[in-house]
Structure 1
Amino acid sequence: MDRCLPPLELASAVPGIAWPALPGPSGAALLAILFQLEQTQWWPAERLRLAQRRQLAALLAHARDHVPFWRGRLPQDWPDPADEAAWEATWQAVPILRREDIQAAEASEALLADALPPGHGEYREIFTSGSTGRPIRAVRSQLWELVWSAFTIRDHLWHRRDLAGTLAVIRESGAGKAMYPEGDTADGWGFSSAALFETGRLVSLNVTTPVAQQLDWLVRRDPDYLLSHPSILARLATASREAGLRLPRLRQVVAISETLRPEARAAIEAAWGVPVVDVYSSREAGYLALQCPDHPHFHIQSEGLRLEVVDEDGQPCAPGETGRVLVTPLHNLAMPLIRYDIGDAAEAGAPCPCGRGLPVLRRILGRRQNMLRLPNGERRWPLLSSSDIGALLAAAPPVLQHQVIQTAADRLHVRLAVARPLGPAEEEAVAAWARAKFGEAFAVAVQAMPELPRTAAGKFEDFVCQVAEDAEAGSGSGGLA
């Protein structure tokens, strides 16, 4: 595979110096991190784990001394980071941090550090999207944002993007911004690259724009790169194919915020003839894993966080096993999140043949909250294969997009975005499809509409479970539906 990078133009911050460029203080710090990331990605796994434990030791000492929530919850004495077995045994004894713990600590600010070490900058407040029901408030430092920028640029470099090109973004935006027909235009790709690189234009459109208008805007803007949610990208790809419209300059598509299903990736790549690159991140924890430049699986960004995939007993999952995702950002001393359960499930992977020592996630399955609950209490992942999608379209050809909502232990509500109203026979065929896929014991209601609603953050889930945990009949297993 061609590993040659496109030409990169550094931005000079020193008056009178155009070339070679000299970045300002933040750009120089960013360049220092990127230089190290270029080396550390090739380190053996053992060396990465040791370096990570050294940084975790610093984070834990700070949390114990400066964060009220963690006082008394963390051991006073930790083994030497070089003693992996003893260190890991102590680490496994740290209680898992849950979303409700963060919410309970918000009023008292018990999770906030009373001071930051020199060089970490100011506190910065953000809110998560609230896709699990209620947003949480997170606080991070300026230094943490610098690390965020480094991983943003790593993703650009790994996937050999030409930063001089035009990047089109369709996602949530502030009121009055990025509205159709023109959207919004900025001179650079955003704060992550502004301190270091000269980049092309960033054009953006609000995610709430109807698909037909999104496609019209996209064709007029004719970008080199397109970034959006997988559900938006899949709808755009279908609309583009059906209208016979091409994006002649498009080189790559980047999927964010939602789980990218294999069938959506295949449809997008087939429609536009360009690769799709997936990004796994969260607002409160940053970049979790980036797609390998040479394979469809993901590399955990171990220089920025510790990510664990654990089973129901809290034990590490082996390659091929599925478990819940725990994250510990390494550099956010403003609000340390230690062994934070972000609510997702993923499949651990084997070491990558690309040679990088960074651990692998083979698949990201999505939010555990949205697992299917069967009437007998069993839980399954409601994954739809290409043949499942084909069967749905055969049952109701006008379907443009689908969403299945489990409203009770024995009830499903199938919502469909359609090109025309469905007939009674088509509705019954969809209900039969749902029972065949998810279980004959379910009562199925079918609702057709022009567009399916999104969350306030513009996200979309193809399966939503509204059944409370205490409504389940038992714990069950975690198979695939």
Structure 2
Amino acid sequence: MHNAPPIDLVSAVPGVSWPALPDAAGSALLALLFQIERSQWWPAARIEAAQRRQLATLLDHARRAVPFHAARLPAAMPDPDDAAAFEAAWQAIPILTRAEIQAADAEESLIAGSLPPGHGEYREIFTSGSTGRPVRAIRSQLWELVWSAFTLRDHLWHRRDFAGTLAVIRDSTPGAAPWPEGATTPGWGGAGGGLFATGPLVGLNVMTPPAQQLDWLLRRDPDYLLSHPSILARLAEESRRAGRRPTRLRQVMAIAETLRPETRAGIEAAFGAPVAEVYSTREAGYLALQCPDHPHLHIQSEAARVEVLDEAGRPCAPGAIGRVVVTPLHNLAMPLIRYDIGDAAEVGPPCRCGRGLPVLNRVMGRRQNMLRLPGGERRWPLLSSSDLAALVAAVPGLRQYQVVQTALDRLLLRLAVEGPLSAAGEAAAIAWARGKFGAEFAVTVETRPEVPRSAAGKFEDFVCEAP
């Protein structure tokens, strides 16, 4: 790791402090890191061949041990070394939907009756339910080990100093990490896998008001900050308004929501630190990490097959936008095979950095939140920096906004503003919305102290509720 900060391993053997000797889990984690450090540089064809071999193993297990897949999967797959035949058979496997997962959950038919040796125990988690319908997922201890390996890859790619302080604003559990002090743990926890010695982790409830979040951040003065893009954007705005920012901050990590280019630029300008994006889901794990050398994302092919498909179900070419379908490679407890996670992404060309991992230019966000037009057409409601500048100019004192499509011809514009909104400001906001989204829309304005978040603390700037 050229110019990377030093890394200290934690020894698990009494009487040995250096060189450190890890325990069994730490040794397995090091073995994974050793391999993916090398596989990232393989040619794309070699990565794809290795992934097909793991997919064949996953499918064989799912066919034998998972009732849901027994009748769904083909009786046999072609040899994974025969790329054309395997891919043709793979494309014939039906797409798994969120509704099917929820229906199967009632009978637990997606859960494997047994796990191969070495995969450990079953673990239960729930997704955030950003669609309003949470999903229960079961994963194995081995899958959690793989998760740790890719958490560490992200840190290593971006040359983070494990001795630094990591600040996290994401827990929305009532009463969790309340302001003013939040919570402190002596290490980065799962981020270090118990393998690397780290500095402290400080955490704060995501529901803490932005001004108080900034006060907490300034007191803690961390080296790294992790949160949702919408939280980071509000913090950046509070920092600009107050004329204060953390003095030690080296990097900001954006998770869980779509990171718009203008949001990235605003955060970086306010904090004087670069932003690194992470694309992951609780049920499917790491899907893509930002390249250390470029702003686009590398699909984590050693952990998951990520497909970006057009309307006909064909793989998208570079520059095209399609729906994201994922298959975690190592969760044999509850195999999610060709799972449509509801997102859309844009495929990118091979990266100049030399890694063979596929590229996503950008993650567009939830497909359900596309703007729907009366004629049946859908389009992405992307707001450019000039769009946002126009809205700020139209609504003095604007702190936060959200556009909700409540019907095919109606929009609700939620605004958090300082002080009352004048009649002229409301008229200007309506004119802005109709100019941006279409004159055929009737627009209603609603003001409130804060635009609401989901139960998981996530925020969408555009929400489609049209039936």
Q: Which residues of 2 match residues 233-382 of structure 1 at below 5 A?
A: 233-382=232-381
Specify the alignment match of 1:477 in structure 2.
none
* % identity of equivalent residues: 72
Q: Secondary structure at the match of 2:192?
A: helix
| Separation (CA, whole Å) in 2 of partners of 1:303 and 1:242 | 43
**1:413 and 1:446 in contact (8 A); partners too:** yes
Question: 1:171 corresponds to which letter in structure 2?
Answer: R
Q: What is the rounded CA distance, in whole Å, between the counterparts of 1:30 and 1:377 in structure 2?
A: 49
Greater CA drift, 448-457 or 220-229: 448-457
Q: Equivalents in 2 of 1:57, 1:125: separation in Å? A: 25
Q: CA, structure 1 residues 97+411, in 2 after alignment: closer, same or farther (shift >3 Å)?
A: same
The TM-score with structure 2 as length reference comes to: 0.99
Q: Offset at 1:306?
A: 0.3
Q: Can you list the C-alpha shifts for 1:356-384, whole angstroms capped at 9, x where unaligned?
A: 00000011000000000012221000000
The residue number in structure 1 matching 2:109 is 110
Check if 1:452 corresponds to 2:451. yes
Does residue 442 of structure 2 align to residue 443 of structure 1? Answer: yes
Deviation at 1:176, TM superposition (A): 2.6
Deviations 1:307-335 (A, max 9, x none): 00001110000000000000000000000
Contact 2:172 2:457 in 1 (8 A): no
Following TM superposition, by how much is the alpha carbon of 1:5 offset from its aligned partner in structure 2, in angstroms?
1.0
Q: CA deviation at 1:460?
A: 0.3
Match of 1:471 in 2: none
Instruction: Specify the alignment match of 1:80 in structure 2.
Output: 79
| 3-state DSSP of counterpart to 1:27 | helix
Q: Which residue identity is paired with 1:293?
A: P
In structure 1, how many angstroms separate the alpha carbons of the residues matched to 2:307 and 2:290? 17
Are the counterparts in 2 of residues 247 and 272 from structure 1 also a CA contact under 8 Å?
Answer: yes
Query: What secondary structure, in the 3-state scheme, does the structure 2 residue paired with 1:31 have?
Result: helix
Q: Distance in 2 between matches of 1:332 and 1:422?
A: 51
Structure 1 CA distance for aligned equivalents of residues 405 and 446 of structure 2: 14
Pairing 1:205–2:212 present: no
Q: CA deviation at 1:173?
A: 4.4
Q: Is the 8 A contact 2:26 2:195 kept in 1?
A: yes
Aligned position for 1:386: 385
Question: In structure 2, what is the equivalent of residue 216 of structure 1?
Answer: 215
CA shift in 2, pair 1:192/1:168, >3 Å:
closer
Cα deviation for residue 91 of structure 1 reads: 0.3
Question: 1:195: Cα distance to partner?
Answer: 2.1
Matched positions, count: 467
Shift of 1:417: 1.3
CA shift digits 1:200-234 (9 cap, x unpaired): 00000000000011010000000000000000000
Which residue of structure 2 lines up, in the alignment, with residue 472 of structure 1? none
C-alpha distance in 2 between matches for 1:261 and 1:3? 30
Kindly provide the CA deviation profile for residues 57-77 of structure 1, in whole angstroms up to 9, marking residues without a partner as x: 000000000000001211112
Tell me the equivalent position of 1:31: 30
For residues 3 and 448 of structure 1, the distance between their equivalents in structure 2, rounded to whole angstroms, comes to 51
Q: Could you report, residue by residue, the CA deviation over 1:92-116 in whole angstroms, capped at 9, with x for unpaired residues?
A: 0000000000000011000000000
Cα distance in 2 for residues equivalent to 1:192 and 1:219: 23
Taking the aligned partners of 1:99 and 1:177, their CA distance within structure 2 comes to 29
Distance 2:191 2:204 in 1: 20
Q: Which residue of 1 aligns with 2:417?
A: 418
Quote how far apart the aligned CAs of 1:191 are.
2.2
The answer on 1:124 being equivalent to 2:117 is: no
Contact 1:24 1:195 in 2 (8 A): no
Q: Is the 8 A contact 1:375 1:441 kept in 2?
A: no
Name 1:7's counterpart in structure 2: 6
Distance (whole Å) between structure 1 residues aligned to residue 209 and residue 330 of structure 2:
39
Structure 1 residues 289-317: Cα deviation after superposition (integer angstroms, max 9, x where no partner): 00000001000000000000001110000
CA deviations over 1:38-74 (Å, ceiling 9, x no partner): 0000000000000000000000000000000001211
Distance 2:316 2:15 in 1: 55
Tell me the distance in 2 between the aligned counterparts of 1:360 and 1:352.
Answer: 7
Could you tell me how far apart the structure 1 residues matched to 2:446 and 2:228 are?
Answer: 23
CA positional deviation for 1:193: 1.2
8 A contact 1:148–1:192 mirrored in 2: no
The answer on whether the counterparts of 2:327 and 2:336 sit within 8 Å (CA) in structure 1 is yes
- Does the C-alpha gap of structure 1 residues 141 and 150 become closer, same or farther in structure 2, counting only changes over 3 Å? same
Query: 1:398 aligns to what?
Result: 397
Counterpart-to-counterpart distance in 1, 2:76 and 2:291: 37
SS at match of 1:232: helix
CA distance, structure 2, for counterparts of residue 340 and residue 288 of structure 1: 12
Question: Helix, strand or coil: the match of 1:393?
Answer: helix
What is the aligned partner in structure 2 of residue 158 from structure 1? 157
User: Does the residue aligned with 1:309 lie in a helix, a strand or coil?
Assistant: strand
SS, match of residue 348 in structure 1: strand
User: CA–CA distance in 1 between the matches of 2:134 and 2:245?
Assistant: 38
Q: Secondary structure at the match of 2:298?
A: strand
Q: CA deviation at 1:175?
A: 3.5
In structure 1, the partner of 2:406 is: 407
Contact 1:351–1:359 under 8 Å retained in 2: yes
TM-score, scaled to structure 1: 0.96
Query: Equivalent residue of 1:249, what SS?
Result: coil
Q: Which runs of 5 or more structure 2 residues have no equivalent in the other structure?
A: none
Letter in 1 for 2:36: L
SS in 2 for 1:414: strand
Q: The residue matched to 2:58 in structure 1 has which SS?
A: helix
Report the Cα offset of residue 3 of structure 1: 4.0
